[in-house]
Structure 1
Amino acid sequence: MLEATCHCGSIKIRVETEPRWLTICNCSLCRRLGTLWAYYHPSQVSFVEGAGRTVAYAQGDRTLEIHHCATCGCTTHWESVEKRNAQRMAINARLIDPGKIREIPLRHFDGAESFTYLD
């Protein structure tokens, strides 16, 4: 089990399994946020604290909402704007204890140009 917690503790997200990899994206938003994404099906993600209390920002083509804690500002997760039938979401693995994710492989995603993984 992994738990992601914002700085102030208002938002706590739990997943039962480790992701296959963690993604570093260089798109205009992710590089500024410094996020490290762990992908899951929405049914695999539980909000232990703060469900529905994050603030969403929909950028660009407005298909994703990037969420952050309204109190401390930490980026917590992204989810599809279209919630119905959503197949994927991501939690910010920077909010997980680094010792618990140390062995998970990192993949670099070129969200700025080619929209492909660089490995």
Structure 2
Amino acid sequence: MNYKGSCHCRGIAFEVEGDIKQVVSCNCSMCSRRGSLLWFVPRDSLRLTTPADRMGTYTFNKHVIQHRFCAKCGIHPFGEGTDPSGNRMAAVNVRCLEGVDFTAIPVQHFDGRSH
């Protein structure tokens, strides 16, 4: 399925292809503060539909995930990194997708605070 998503002001907009079977709720210092529910997809499944220079980037801890956010409204629509096998991945915040009832999606809890 193809989904459309964006930050609040639509300065960052994107499309992402895939099936949302579950999302991850992480308790690390970043995720717990922003309240995102993450859907992991291959990075090639996500396509920006706005210029990349509208994004800010934040890294912390091991500096392996590029947390993307809108420099104008501050919303975090996705992050980018690699999985343990070295594959490029995107962590899409399903709360930023149009028409998705994220309350109906199974949530896997991840203890990011301990990693």
SS at match of 1:62: coil
Aligned match of 1:104: 105
Aligned match of 2:51: 50
Give the percent of matched residue pairs that are identical in Structure 1 and Structure 2. Answer: 28
Farther off after superposition, 13-22 or 93-102: 93-102
RMSD across aligned positions (CA): 1.9
Q: Deviations over 1:17-75 (max 9, x none)?
A: 22321111000110011111111111111111233420001101111111100111101
Note if contact 1:64-1:78 (Cα within 8 Å) is conserved in structure 2: yes
Segments of 5+ residues of structure 2 without an aligned counterpart are none
Q: 1:61 to 1:7 in 2, by over 3 A?
A: same
SS at match of 2:19: coil
Distance 1:105 1:16 in 2: 19
Segments of 5+ residues of structure 1 without an aligned counterpart are none
TM-score (norm 1): 0.82
SS at match of 1:88: strand
SS at match of 2:32: helix
Distance 2:112 2:90 in 1: 16
Q: 1:96 to 1:31 in 2, by over 3 A?
A: same
Structure 1 position 102, deviation (Å):
4.5
Amino acid at match of 2:67: I
Note if contact 2:80-2:88 (Cα within 8 Å) is conserved in structure 1: no
Aligned match of 2:80: 79
Farther off after superposition, 48-57 or 68-77: 48-57
Structure whose residues are more often helix by fraction: 2
Distance 1:64 1:94 in 2: 19
Q: 1:53 to 1:24 in 2, by over 3 A?
A: same
Distance 1:46 1:17 in 2: 12
Q: How many residues are paired up? A: 111
Aligned match of 1:93: 94
